Amino acid sequence: VFSNQFASIKELAFRIKVLDPSIVIVAGGTHPSFLPERTLNTTAIDYVVLGEGELTFLDLIRSLNGRGRVEDIDGLAFRDGDTVRVNPRKRLIEDLDTLPFPARDLLPMEKYFTANVPMGLHWRKRRNTPIVTSRGCPNRCAFCSSTIHWGKRWRGRSADNVLEEIQLLKDKYGIKELKFQDDNLTIPKERARAILQGMVDRGLAMPWNTPNGVAIWTLDDELIGLMKKSGCYEFTLAVESGDPWVLKNIVKKPLKLEKALEVAALARKHKIATVGYFIIGFPGENMEQVRHTLDFALKLKLDYIIPFIYNPLPGSELWDVCREKGYIPEDFHYEEANNYFQSCLKCDTFDPEALQPLQRAAYLKNLIMLPLRNPREFWDYYSRLIVSRPGFLKTFFRHLAHREK
């Protein structure tokens, strides 16, 4: 459960309990993990699994079946009378290869393919599926809670283990496209090369992309060429800020903007589509720095840019900064700001109301350039979108009309 989903999860849990109060509801993910007391005190959820869930959830199932005590389970939050008890997480799964592959046979996979609502913005084949090859990140970006959620360090599956799962997906489910959900697929580069070359050598090359992004500083001409050879049609560059000072002192991301320009050019060379993630309205950022970010986003000449408006994520360093400096009130409920298109901050360095017009203008300016810069990508994507999403055009023109107002 992510923070921007919390309101929906709260309503869903309530409806489940109305249907059958005996159903046990367990929540996991970043939002419940960092706010377990609030989650249990304000919803019908019975248990919260903190962070990595496989071992804790298994222990909980055993306990509910009379094999162990809930009070002894590592990384679990639960109600204890009128209070909430939180057992801190102490263990991590060191060897991810020991985990079995996801039990997709327990899911109605064909219905997922028919529904055609894949993770991320773009897709090439209906028979696609997410795959995760690693957990965590070696960096400490101040706006992000993922690093802390996964135990403050990166852990990866072996290349052979990943390739074995891809082979299974192809043979058993007829998968024709992969969505690599890793925070950092290309860390370390040697493992990434082994996975990608293995896909080529074993006949597993197929369309794939990275909805969450890749570590820009790891990419070079050779690796991007291998990505293309193995089937990569698009990757996401999570640049965050186009202002060097903001990037270093507020975001704390180890990225040089010159490297982002280099990688964007290499993607064009290898004919790989690109998506750029940017964030404006960081605490302490001023309007000039906001414009620097949007100008840089356009300078990269990416196929798609998504300029988000910052809202603090529970568990992140900037969440604590915002609370300490009074940028968000003590009784702030995250579900009141459940999107990334409107700032919830009360910050004196920028005007929150001025962010959305700038965000929309940059997005539309880049969109207008797409059919000129990459006409094939434009027609391929939007023709699929119009066919598979009947309401897309109506929503799109409403979006334009709203901007004009």
* 281, part of any domain: yes
Q: What residues make up the domain containing 359?
A: 98-404
Of 34, 64, 86, the one marking the end of a domain is 86
Task: Give the count of beta carbons closer than 10 Å to the beta carbon of residue 292.
Answer: 21
More confident residue, 335 or 25: 25
pLDDT at 156: 96
Of 29, 57, 86, the one marking the end of a domain is 86
pLDDT digits (tens, 9 = 90+) for 135-172: 988 888 999 988 888 887 899 999 999 999 999 999 99
Q: Are residues 181 and 82 in the same domain?
A: no
* 60, part of any domain: yes
Which pTM does this prediction carry? 0.90
pLDDT digits (tens, 9 = 90+) for 233-281: 999 999 999 999 999 999 999 999 999 999 999 999 999 999 999 999 9
Q: Are residues 71 and 103 in the same domain?
A: no
* 91, part of any domain: no
Rounded (10°) angle between helices 159-173 and 189-201: 40
Paired tokens of 277: 């993630």
Q: Are residues 55 and 125 in the same domain?
A: no
pLDDT digits (tens, 9 = 90+) for 335-384: 655 567 888 888 889 998 999 999 999 999 998 888 888 888 877 777 76
* 136, part of any domain: yes
* 93, part of any domain: no
| CB-CB contact of 293 with 278 (8 Å) | yes
Q: What's the mean per-residue pLDDT of the chain? A: 91
Say how many domains are in the chain.
2
Q: Are residues 197 and 151 in the same domain?
A: yes
Of 41, 56, 86, the one marking the end of a domain is 86
pLDDT digits (tens, 9 = 90+) for 85-102: 999 998 899 999 999 999
- Coil, helix or strand at residue 132: coil
* 172, part of any domain: yes
| pLDDT reading at 222 higher than 90 | yes
* 209, part of any domain: yes
* 92, part of any domain: no
Q: Are residues 69 and 102 in the same domain?
A: no
Q: Are residues 142 and 290 in the same domain?
A: yes
pLDDT digits (tens, 9 = 90+) for 165-196: 999 999 999 999 999 999 989 989 999 999 99
48 CA to centre of own chain = 20
Q: Are residues 135 and 61 in the same domain?
A: no
Q: Are residues 392 and 301 in the same domain?
A: yes
Q: Are residues 52 and 192 in the same domain?
A: no
pLDDT at 181: 94
Find all residues with CB under 8 Å of 132, minimum gap 6, and list them.
Answer: 180, 181, 182
